[in-house]
A and B are shown apart, each in its own frame.
Chain A
Amino acid sequence: MTTRSAFERTAIAGFAILTLLLVFGTTFSIRRFATEADAQVRATRAEEAEITRVERLRWNAELIFSSGRGYLLSGEPALLAQVKESRQRFDQTMAELRRQHLSPARRALVDEAGRAASSYIQVQQELIDARPHSDDPRVLARRFEIEQLPLSRDLARTLSRLVDDMMVGLNEHYEATSVERAALAARLYGLLAALLLAAVGTGGYFARRLGGSLEKERVALETAHKAVAARDELMGIVAHDLRNPLGAITMKAALMRKGTDADRTRQQAESIENIAMRMEYLIQTMLDVTTLEARRFTVNVGPCALADLLRETAEMFGTVAASKQVRFEQSAKEPGLVLLVDRERVLQVLSNLIGNALKFTPPGGHVTLSVERQGAMVQFGVFDTGSGIASENVARVFERFWTETPGKKGTGLGLFIAKGIIDAHGGRIWVESKLGHGTRFFFTLPIAEVAAEDVASAQAGATPHLV
């Protein structure tokens, strides 16, 4: 697992605290919402109960009025009982209403209703008391109507106002609670949304982080596998390519042991020497590849005369070219140039490129080494009239283990090393080729920044065997 940065730790802690706060907030809000809703329901019930009591008052007043009138007209004792019962209920309800917690305005209205009711009842009682002694009950009824009607209207009006007032109050209450509920709900939804966002954010962050680290691990594993595969391949090549010359040496040594002809024995010894040198070259190649891959490859640059490089390559490849019936030509406009390079390494590149060119050029063709100045650099070109490289392979020639004849001759490391050497000089190497039209390799190397009078000495220093 990858280590966490301080920023990540802070971010995670921040997320945790935020999420915790949101959870607390939401829980608190839900509780608030529930208690608030309960309180509102209770308050609404109380209001409704009050209205019911006022309605009962009105209903009982109505009964007192109609039963009293009926009794005065008919003298029916059942109606008188009804009046008494209704009065009792009225008083009872009034008392209940008074016990409630009422607003001052409402209490004033209730008191007014109480007063209106008692003055009405007082008059009614006088008439009822007069009933047994009256000759004409219609006179009493008449009086009742004249004296009682305004009083009963007063009472009814007062009670109506009380009901209206309560209805208004109830409506206000309804509205207030609905507004409050809406505000609470909005707050709750907001909190839930924030909680959801925080959860999504945290989840997304960790999912991405996990995905990223998994991807990193996968890439690292792949790289490790590739490295192991490359090393195995290199080991295979080393084993195979060293066994061939070792086999030859063993055989030649055995022949020397058995031989009697002195000349033949000398030839065999020479041959063993050459084979051993080629093994050394192979081992050097492997070491170069190893240092290149470890990015520890360095070159020891110094002044080096171009003429010296040209002469060396001509000596190296003149006879080989002739034996293959291939013409090897050199063209340099300014052979007096002095380069700032690692002489042995540049010769290694040149011999690799020219050796390849000779290998792939059929008899009758020619191989050219051309050199020209380009600003602060010198551009080398190695051209051949060989079979060329297929366009799909041109981009791959500098890759490790790439060969024109896969798995067969050559290690496929020469151009890989050549590119490493040129890169280490700060130069550039590239190839132009077309199947059937030959191949043109180019590379650039830096020119030494030396004064004209130093050139001669630099040249002398670089090529001591010429002097």
Chain B
Amino acid sequence: MADVLIIDDDLDSADALSEAMRAEGHDVRVGYNGQDGLRLARERVPDVALLDVEMPLLDGPGMVYQMFLHDMGLEDVPIVFLSGVADLPAVAASAGTPYFLGKPYRYEQVVTLVGRALAEGVAPRPRRA
């Protein structure tokens, strides 16, 4: 039982993922862009954040950067990138997080990865800073 924050502008993806996380027994909140995500994270610091990369208003890496730089207490939240972008490993590396999974992924893969992120709790260290 963990507090999971899901941010994805693709409603179907967000919907499916949140259902899966709920099925795994987690407490889930959903946002549809980076700004949404920052607002929700400030309201209550999540145990893990699952982010899409390309989103309107504020993208995934941008949100990680904001969390790291400006919001006290949010810099230790482990980040999992879930996206269909071609250069996902590079994006994750530049955001400084070891957790990422390309779309489309299998149910078990994402559950395992989120479990690992929760257990290890490695916080991102963005290179842009």
Report A's interface with B, CB cutoff 8 A.
Answer: 236, 239-252, 254-255, 257-259, 268, 271, 274-275, 278, 405, 407-409
Contact = CB atoms under 8 A, between A and B. Distances in A.
A252 B84 CA distance: 17
A360 to B, nearest CB: 12
B36 to A, nearest CB: 13
A239 B87 CA distance: 12
Contact of A255 (B12, B16, B56, B59): B16
B55 to A, nearest CB: 6
Nearest to B19: A255
Given A243-B103, A408-B56, A409-B9, A248 B86 contact: no
B13 A248 contact: yes
B54 A243 contact: no
Contacts of B56: 405, 408-409
A244 B13 contact: yes
B23 interface: yes
A251 B20 contact: yes
A268 B22 CA distance: 14
Given A239-B86, A243-B104, A246-B103, A251 B54 contact: no
Contacts of B71: none
Given A244-B84, A409-B9, A252 B55 contact: no
Contact of B10 (A248, A250, A255, A274): A248
| Interface core residue of B55, B103, B110 (most chain A CB under 10 Å) | B103
Interface in B18-72: 19-20, 23, 54-57, 59
B2 interface: no
Given A242-B84, A250-B105, A268-B19, 5 more contacts: A240-B85, A248-B12, A248-B13, A248-B16, A278-B12
Contacts of B57: 408
A244 B23 contact: no
A247 B84 contact: yes
29 contacts: A239-B84, A241-B84, A242-B84, A243-B102, A243-B103, A245-B10, A247-B16, A247-B82, A247-B104, A248-B10, A248-B12, A248-B16, A249-B16, A250-B104, A251-B13, A251-B16, A251-B19, A251-B110, A254-B106, A254-B108, A255-B19, A255-B23, A255-B107, A258-B23, A271-B15, A275-B12, A278-B12, A405-B56, A408-B54
Contacts of B102: 243
B17 interface: yes
Contact of B104 (A241, A249, A278, A407): A249
A251 B110 CA distance: 9
Interface of B: 9-10, 12-13, 15-17, 19-20, 23, 54-57, 59, 82, 84-86, 102-108, 110
Q: 6 smallest A-B Cβ distances: which pairs?
A: A243-B84, A254-B107, A251-B16, A248-B12, A247-B103, A408-B56
| Interface core residue of A242, A249, A409 (most chain B CB under 10 Å) | A409
Contacts of A255: 16, 19-20, 23, 107
Contact of B107 (A239, A240, A250): A250
A247 B105 contact: yes
Contacts of A407: 54
Contacts of A245: 10, 12-13
A236 B88 CA distance: 13
A407 B56 CA distance: 8
Contacts of B13: 244-245, 247-248, 251
A42 B85 CA distance: 96
Contacts of B105: 247, 250
A258 B106 CA distance: 13
A408 B9 contact: yes
B85 A271 contact: no
B17 A251 contact: yes
Contacts of A249: 16, 104
| Interface core residue of B86, B102, B104, B110 (most chain A CB under 10 Å) | B104
A251 B105 CA distance: 8
B40 to A, nearest CB: 19
A252 B20 CA distance: 8
Contacts of A405: 56
A245 B84 CA distance: 10
Nearest to B84: A243
A239 to B, nearest CB: 7
